[in-house]
Amino acid sequence: MPADLHIHTNQSDGTFSPEETVKLAAQGGLKTISLTDHDNVDGIEKAVQVGAEAGIEVIPGIELTTETAHAEVHILGYYLDYQAPRLLEVLEKIQKSRVERIHGIVAKLRAVGVEIEADEVFALSGEKSPGRPHVARVLIKKGIVGTFKEAFKRFLDFRAPAYVPHFKLTPGEAIKLINSVGGIAVFAHPAISNADELIPEMIADGLRGIEAYYISHYADQVDYYVKLARKDGLLLTGGSDFHGEDSGRESKLGDFSIPDELVDKLRDEHLRGN
C-alpha cells in the first residue's frame, strides 16, 4: 500500500487534528504517512501513537519555510528528533514571529478598510503556527472575500497590501538544523519554488532529497526532477500537501500517493545514519 509524505494538520494550517488525519489516511488506503506541519512538530507524538494502533507508519516530519533574497523555499525534514531542544528553540522563535506577524497583517488590513481582530485568527490557529491561510479563513467567514484565491490575491500575497513577512531561516540553515537533529532534508515542491539554481548549494549544505512527486507538479516537471535527483544522487519523495477541508485545496488523503519503494529508500537512508 502506498504513502503520502507531505501532510498538514491543525498544528499548523491544516483543518484536521493529528488523530483525525491518521484515521483519514487509514480510510484512504495509505500505509505510511508523514505529518509535515509548517514550523511545528507538536502533532507528531500523538500521530505516531494513533498510527501504531491503526496500523499506519507515521514518519516524524516538518516543513520549514525558508527564504533567500530572491525566493521562498520550503524544506521538508524526515525522521528528525522532534524532541531535540535545539530544534524546539528555533521553532519557538519562528512561532513567536508568526504570532507577531498576525498583528501586523491585521493592522495592514485595517489600513485598507478591512476590520478583523487578531483573536479571530488565533481562535482558528492557536498561538503556535498561525499563517496566512488562517487569515484567509477569517476573511471568508466574514464575507469579505469569497475564496482563498481571492484572499491571497487581494490581500495576502507577497506584494499585496497586507503582506507581512515573518522570521525565517535560510535554506542552508534549515538543512543544517534538520541534519543536526538526525533528520533527512528534502527540497519541497521544487516546481512551485522556482529556485533550482539553489540546488547545488543546498546539496553542499546537506540536502538529501527532492520532492519530485507533488500533487500539482505536471508530468514533465516530475520527469525533470526525477532525472535531476538521479544525476545528483538525491532521494525522491512525494506527497499531496493535504490541508483538510475548506483549505483552498480539494484533494482527499489517498487520492495522491507514492510507491513503497521510495519510502524504503528514505528509511534505509535514515537507518544508515543511526
User: Which positions from 23 to 52 touch ligand AMP by CB under 6 A, shown as an x/- string?
Assistant: ---------------x--------------
**Beta carbon nearer to Fe ion, 63 or 205:** 63
Pairing of strands 32-35, 3-7: parallel
Q: Which positions from 222 through 261 interact with ligand AMP, judged by CB under 6 A?
A: 248
Residues 44, 82 contacting (CB under 8 angstroms): yes
- Are 44 and 60 within 8 A, CB to CB? yes
Closer to Fe ion by Cβ: residue 64 or 106: 64
Write out the E strands in 175-257.
184-187, 209-214, 235-239
164 vs 228, which CB is nearer to Zn ion?
Answer: 164
Sheet bearing 72-78, strands edge to edge: 3-7, 32-35, 57-67, 72-78, 184-187, 209-214, 235-239
Judged by CB under 5 A, the residue of 23, 74, 128, 137 near Fe ion is: 74
d(CA 33, CA 267): 12
Which listed option, Zn ion, Fe ion, ligand AMP, none, makes contact with residue 3 (CB within 5 to 8 Å by class)? Answer: none
Query: How many Å apart are CA 113 and CA 166, to the nearest integer?
Result: 23
Question: Please, which of residues 110-169 interact with ligand AMP by CB under 6 A?
Answer: 131-133, 148-149, 152
Cβ 55 to Fe ion shortest distance, Å: 25
CB nearer to Fe ion: pick between 32 and 129:
129
Name the residue whose CB lies closest to Zn ion.
13
Q: Which residue, among 235, 241, 226, 240, has the nearest Cα to 267 in the 3D structure? A: 235
Residue type, 194: N
Closer residue to Fe ion (CB): 46 or 74: 74
The alpha carbon of residue 79 and the mean position of all alpha carbons in its chain are separated, in whole angstroms, by 15
Nearer to ligand AMP, 126 or 248 (CB): 248
Minimum CB separation from Zn ion for residue 200, in Å? 27
Out of 4, 13, 42, 211, the only residue in the binding site for Zn ion (CB under 5 A) is 13
- Shortest Cβ 266–Fe ion spacing (Å): 17
Closest CA to 177 of 147, 207, 197, 154: 207
Binding flag, residue 96, ligand AMP (CB under 6 A):
no
Q: Contact between 63 and Zn ion (CB under 5 A)? A: no
- Name the nearest CA neighbour of 216 among 248, 189, 246: 189
* SS3 category, 180: helix
In whole angstroms, how close is the CB of 157 to ligand AMP at the nearest point?
A: 6
Give the footprint of ligand AMP on this chain (CB under 6 A).
13, 38, 65, 131-133, 148-149, 152, 248
Give the footprint of Zn ion on this chain (CB under 5 A).
13
